[in-house]
Every structure is written in structure tokens, then in C-alpha cells.
Amino acid sequence: MSDAYVALEDGRVVEARGRVPGRTRGELVFTTAYTGYEESLTDPSYEEQVLTFSYPLIGNYGVRDERFESDRVHPRAAVAREFTDEVVEWLADEGVPAVDHLDTRDLVTAIREGGAMKCGIAVGEGVTPEDAKAELAECKGMSEHMDIGAQVSVDASETYEPDADAPDVDAEVALIDCGAKGSIRSSLTERGATVHVLPYDTTSETVADLDPDVLFVSNGPGDPANFGAAQALVEEFVGEVPVAGICLGQQVVARALGGTTEKMDFGHRGVNQPVRDLDSGKVVMTTQNHGYTVGDPGPELDVTQVNVNDDTAEGLESDELGVLTRQYHPEANPGPHDSLGFFDDVLELVETDRARKLAASD
């Protein structure tokens, strides 16, 4: 059992039990999810962050790689009231520092009251509070990573064919990988779509050569302003090709169409975020993981869904332009299945666009 210290931006240093040694730094955030720790830890949207679990026991149903959303753990460190040994072994294999036996309720309260904050972590035999403070000092001197997409995106395009038992929808999706969860891709292939996963900095020429039926901007980490190439693709192809987006993707689409985005105090991270559809009045529970939100959607987009807790935009649409986005994660990994129909709606955009183009050619 090794020593561990977490130095917080508010001046405190919290002592903990070290589970995986190492020294690191990052933005301290929390998730309220009580299941889905494998999905959360492998979600690329947590890149460069330190993830605190508010649920007290993490690992009580083991670790299974079929639940992973990517090929590695993305947070720089993991914090919990208690980790099981199996999770610790996994994090150790990944080289990700981990601490437990501290008051995570206090950490969550601090973040909720003061906002997401930077932290430094030092874990290992003989470490001191000064070691954690040194990591924090390094973190405070860093600006937000402007090219974070390079850390989470594919290096070259990858194509995934429809599942063998999927319906024949004959749809080609260009998925701009800003840190895409694997379940977004699988949610489309199981519905019969062919998915071309493209790097976050894909050029318009590449997309034009592909001639997709849908341009789909994925989730991802950090500030949407850092994904200028994806924004440029939306600006160029919107109105010609249906456009969809999830999480960071919604923010990128909004910015491309004259909207604005802003950093939230502590974000939405969990599996129980209530979202109201403004047309039907229906409320669904959703999975979310984001620290930025759309402030003003701009003149081209209508807000169709809002968060019940704070009225932030959860859904944007434009029938005229063929745009459909969601701030939450409708693929429901982890989380409730209330909003899985989003992917059916995206593929319906294809049929609507084809009908429109056919009518225009007559």
C-alpha cells in the first residue's frame, strides 16, 4: 500500500491510498454514473482529465473488454472511494495512476461549488504533498491542448461494413472521429449503414471523394473550438449532405452554423441526465459526458430538446438543411436506452434527402 496525494487548485492537498503508482496532472471532473465504469474509463472524451467516480465502489462486476469504447483508458488518473483489485490491475496494465480511500463526496462538492479544477497527483512509495503540488504547478501553467484531437482520432480512414443480420438501408456514413466511442459506429452498422471512420482533420476533398449519405461529427474531448477542421467540413457540406452530431459534434455543428459554445461550470457527466423534448413534452433519461455546451444555436438551428436541470440545449435540428444533433449519448453505453431511436432518425435523413433530390431532378 503506497502513499498518494491529490493537490487541488483550491489550495487543498488530499491524502489517499495509492493503488497504481505514478505522477500526473489534469482537469479534475466527476461522473455520477453508478455502472459503466469500463465505458467511462475508455471514453475518449475524458482525455487529459482526472476522473472521479461519485459512486463509492468501482469494479463490483469485473472488467470485460467487450464493454470498452476504445482501445485504451483515456483519463490521466482515476479516483474513487474504493476500487476493486480487478480494476486496479487493469489500470496498472494501462499505466494509469489510481487512488482511493478518500472522501469523494467532498471532491464532488468542491467541483460543484467551485467548478472543474486542475489537480496534481503523486502516487508511490515515499511521495510527499510537495510532489503533488509540483504536478499541479505544471498543470496550471498549461493552456488547454489545442490539438487534442490528434490524441484520440484514427490516423487513417477505416471502413466498417453493415452487420451480417442488419437491414439493407444502403447508407454511407462519413463519421468524423473527434474521439468517437465505438458504440456510435456499432449503432450505425447494426442498422445497416456502412461507416467510414475518418480522422478529425479530414479534408473536404476526402469527404467529397467518398460522397457520403450523411456527414456525422462524433463526440470528443475538450473545447469544440479546437476542432476547426471538422467545423469547416460542416460549413462546406451542410445543405448538400445531411449532417448529424453527438456531444462535441453538436457543438461543432452549432459553431459551423453561426452559433456559440461556452464552458460549463462542472459539465454533465453521468447516466441519469433528464432531457425534455420540447415538441412532445416527453422526458427521457440520458448518458452524458461533456464540459462545454451550446450557448446560442445561431439562426439556422432550432433547439428541440433541453436539459431539465439547467435548460441547456440537448437537441438541435434543421429540417431545411437536414441537420440532427444531440448533446447526450443516444448509443446508451453506459446508460438507459431511452434515446436509441436517434440513429434511426439519422438514417431517415438519408431517405428524406434522396426523396428531395429526386423531386428536384424531375
Counting DSSP H helices and E strands in the chain, the numbers are: 10, 19
Residue 9 falls in the annotated catalytic set: no
- Any known ligand binding at 2? no
Q: Which of 119, 247, 268, 290 is catalytic?
A: 247
- Any known ligand binding at 45? yes
Listed residue (58, 60, 71) closest to 30, CA to CA:
58
Q: Which residues are bridge partners to 269 per DSSP?
A: 289
Give the Å distances, CA to CA, from 204 to 115, 176, 237: 37, 11, 8
β-sheet with 193-199: strand ranges across: 158-160, 193-199, 171-177, 214-217, 243-246, 323-326, 313-318, 302-307, 260-277, 283-296
Distance CA 37, CA 46 (A): 12
Write phi, then psi, for 249 (nearest 5 degrees): -60, -40
- Any known ligand binding at 251? yes
Is 343 in contact with 330 (CB distance < 8 Å)?
Answer: yes
Is 224 in contact with 234 (CB distance < 8 Å)?
Answer: no
- Any known ligand binding at 292? yes
Q: Which residues make Cβ contacts (< 8 Å) with residue 145, sequence separation at least 6?
A: 48, 151, 222, 226
State the DSSP string of 175-212. Answer: EEESS--HHHHHHHHTTTEEEEEEETT--HHHHHHH--
Residue 329 falls in the annotated catalytic set: yes
Distance CA 177, CA 202 (A): 9
Distance CA 9, CA 12 (A): 7
- Any known ligand binding at 272? no
Q: Which three cell numbers, joined as nine digits, stand for 108?
A: 464532488
Q: Which three cell numbers, joined as nine digits, stand for 18?
A: 495509492
Q: Which residues make Cβ contacts (< 8 Å) with residue 352, sequence separation at least 6?
A: 242, 322
- Any known ligand binding at 321? no
Q: Which three cell numbers, joined as nine digits, stand for 136?
A: 499541479
Residue 139 falls in the annotated catalytic set: no
- Known binding-site residues for L-glutamine equal 45, 220, 222, 248, 251, 289, 291-292
Report, as residue numbers or ranges, the catalytic residues: 247, 329, 331
